Amino acid sequence: MKIDEMLRGMASRTSFHMPGHKMRFGQGSAWDVTELDRTDDLHSPRGPYCDLAGRLAARCGAAVSFPLVGGSTRGVQLMVLSSLKPGQRLILPRNAHSSAWSACALGGIDPIPVPLRMDAEMQIPCLDAQDLCRAIAAHPEAGAVLLTRPDYYGRLFDLAPVVRAAHAQGMKVLVDEAHGAHLPFAGERSCGRLGADLWVQSLHKTLPALTPCAVLHAADASIEGEVRRIHRLLETSSPSSLLLHAMERCLDYMDDHPDALARLTSLCAAFREGICADGRFARTAAFYERYDVDPTRLVIDVRGTGLRGFEAARRMEMCGVDMEMADDSRVIGIPSVMTTQEDMDALLCALRALPCGSEARTPTLPKLAFGRAVCGVRQAALGSVRRVPLDRAADLTAAESLGIYPPGVPLCVPGERVTPAVVEAMQAARRLGGTLFGVDDKGEIAVVSRRYDVVIFDLDGTLMDTSLGVMRSVQYALRAMGLPDGDLDTIRRFIGPPLHASFVQFYGMCDEEAAEAVAHYRERYARQGVLEYKPYPGMAELIRELTAAGTKVCVATGKPEKFSRIILEREGLLSHIERLLTPSLSDTRDNKPEMVRAILAACGRNALMVGDRCFDIQGARANGIDSAGVLHGFGGREELERSGATFIVEGARDLRGILL
């Protein structure tokens, strides 16, 4: 039985079940029924919905397919959440749809953004396959890589090298093929036949289906149970039979019109040939020569009119022709099998109504600038937020994706610092007529709102670069113990953890020998090393701002109290410190958790620990508070990520955006 027959069989029945319109509220309601014994259930298909999925899989080369009533947004989320678990990493380019970033937020998945390259001649951002392959090689721990093919311009990214590289590392390849549902019908190779593990298509974008009909395909049928489990978490329990019926009708139409895509392809080719003969649009040919492009996509260069693409699209709209999008140089149209010769004639007429102008126009689009990750996507997107005007957002942390449309590339995703360059690029695009996303009608954006009552700083490697004094004093102690002092890589590792433990760990000393080495170290450090330091830029100013704002500032450090006080007093900071926690001279182990616990008991639990080493992050986690790892210190990004830092920041400027 087909969906059509199933729904027609419900027309004469008396309904005392949902929905409330009882299939009597206009023509569309006749096809809108709920899940009954006589109908089917999308979440446990056994009849016509199962047959629909089978037809979609056969047509698109999948082992199993899942019709979706939530659009490709739902499909992308399903791909990501059924492939990765919380804490795993996903490699994805900057032009990934917002649904990919939201999937990371929902699933606690750590995204690894891959930058785009700007094609200077075409003024279009491009994804380089080699950049993706390098990201795969650099992050073998990632569970999957996700990319978009085709993009809004219809460009067909070369998937083969990415599939080889990802599969060699055991990663899944996920493809957002929302704009490519027609490719299997057009004789083009869909990404499923190019090695993708999961791919999603929007039937409504390029085929005759209702919005938001979509389908998720999988190359491996064994994933079906997991996809259905996640689907039940995300999707309505009452999926629209009207949309599922529309998908069936779409497939019926394509089966009944096997030459429809070939006709459309010929129609588009003839149209491009015709407009390229007009000098105003002659540069259109260069785009198709430069890229591998979906033959049914119309990307028309209008620079010869003397107009920007945005301006040309507005004039065409006044002629009754609506384009999908425009950029600085082009207008882009998405025809389908429903497009007629008359439609093409109307488009040609609107283009011919444009003026003739000079092509010698310097590109004015702003350069792409990107934010820098300071915390997880989930923490930023689902945590506390506040709204601020775009022009006051520099150095704050984005709580949702921000960018320019076109090209629809997020300049900042949740958890990234909104740099001044990002603000400048978005403002410049708005002046040129581009559309901003992530900005409301008041010109405001959502940023992370985290105000802590207490901020606990580590000292060495966080507030002060004490490396010179520490390393020279360690060398002095090693010489006194009759040991070589030239292994600087090992000596640097003394910065942060307790001295006694470091002498034991790195030089194999017994407790008595380590105690003697510590005494030699302190002899030299007290005399000279304590003064061999320099403050990290902006940290002292940040502490003063915090105390002025009413925040309690504390210090928990492995440095003995007398040395800590000397440094803080010399920098004029001791009076700003609410609590200073240090080990006793007899301590031989890391007791950062106990120091943090004591501060929380005295000052309150709404606190953030700021440090540069794993010991600082572990001290915060042991007490259930947030932590910020600073990269200007001695631990490095890998150590801080592995330790589970809530935020990872470059230095004072990023911290200020989080704290103030």
pLDDT at 360: 45
Residue 315 CA to residue 304 CA, distance in Å, equals 15
What are 452's strand-pairing partners?
none
pLDDT at 265: 95
- The phi-psi region of residue 476 (left if phi > 0; otherwise alpha if psi is between -120 and 50; otherwise beta) is alpha
Q: From 210, 216, 215, select the one nearest 250 (Cα to Cα).
A: 210
Domain spanning 454-460+533-659: CATH superfamily: HAD superfamily/HAD-like (3.40.50.1000)
Residue 222: CB partners within 8 Å, gap ≥ 6?
Answer: none
Residue 571 CA to residue 567 CA, distance in Å, equals 6
- Planar angle of CA 448, 449, 452, nearest 5 degrees: 125
Q: Which fold has domain 41-234+246-256?
A: Aspartate Aminotransferase; domain 2 (3.40.640)
Answer whether 64's CB lies under 8 Å from 53's CB.
yes
Residue 257 CA to residue 259 CA, distance in Å, equals 5
pLDDT at 585: 58
Q: From 111, 99, 102, select the one nearest 72 (Cα to Cα).
A: 99
DSSP percent split of the chain into helix, strand, coil, nearest 5: 45, 15, 40
Residue with tokens 């004093």: 473
Answer whether 213's CB lies under 8 Å from 191's CB.
no
Residue 612 CA to residue 93 CA, distance in Å, equals 29
pLDDT at 22: 80
Q: What would the two tokens of residue 483 be?
A: 């040991």
Q: Which fold has domain 467-531?
A: DNA polymerase; domain 1 (1.10.150)
- Distances from the Cα of 534 to the Cαs of 460, 463, 471, 563, in angstroms? 10, 9, 14, 14
Answer whether 506's CB lies under 8 Å from 493's CB.
yes
Fold match flag (260-352 vs 467-531)? no
SS3 21: coil
Q: Say which DSSP state 200 is in.
A: E
Answer whether 388's CB lies under 8 Å from 336's CB.
no
Residue with tokens 């488009």: 347
Q: What would the two tokens of residue 35 be?
A: 């899940």
Q: What would the two tokens of residue 170 be?
A: 């055991």
Residues of the chain with pLDDT under 50: 360, 362, 588
Domain spanning 372-448: CATH superfamily: Molybdopterin biosynthesis moea protein, domain 2 (3.90.105.10)
Q: Give the tens place of pLDDT for each residue, 413-427.
A: 999 999 999 999 899
Residue range 260-352 forms a domain whose CATH class is alpha beta
Q: From 424, 266, 376, select the one nearest 646 (Cα to Cα).
A: 376
Return phi, psi of residue 649, to 5°: -130, 155
Q: How is the chain split into domains, by residue range?
A: 41-234+246-256, 260-352, 372-448, 454-460+533-659, 467-531
- Biggest alpha carbon distance in the chain? 98
Q: How many CA atoms lie within 13 A of 22 on its CB side?
A: 6
pLDDT at 298: 97
Residue 52 CA to residue 131 CA, distance in Å, equals 38
Q: What would the two tokens of residue 276 be?
A: 């390229």
Residue 425 CA to residue 185 CA, distance in Å, equals 40
Residue with tokens 């945590």: 383
Q: Is 189 exposed, middle or buried (0-12, 13-18, 19+ CB in 10 A)?
A: middle
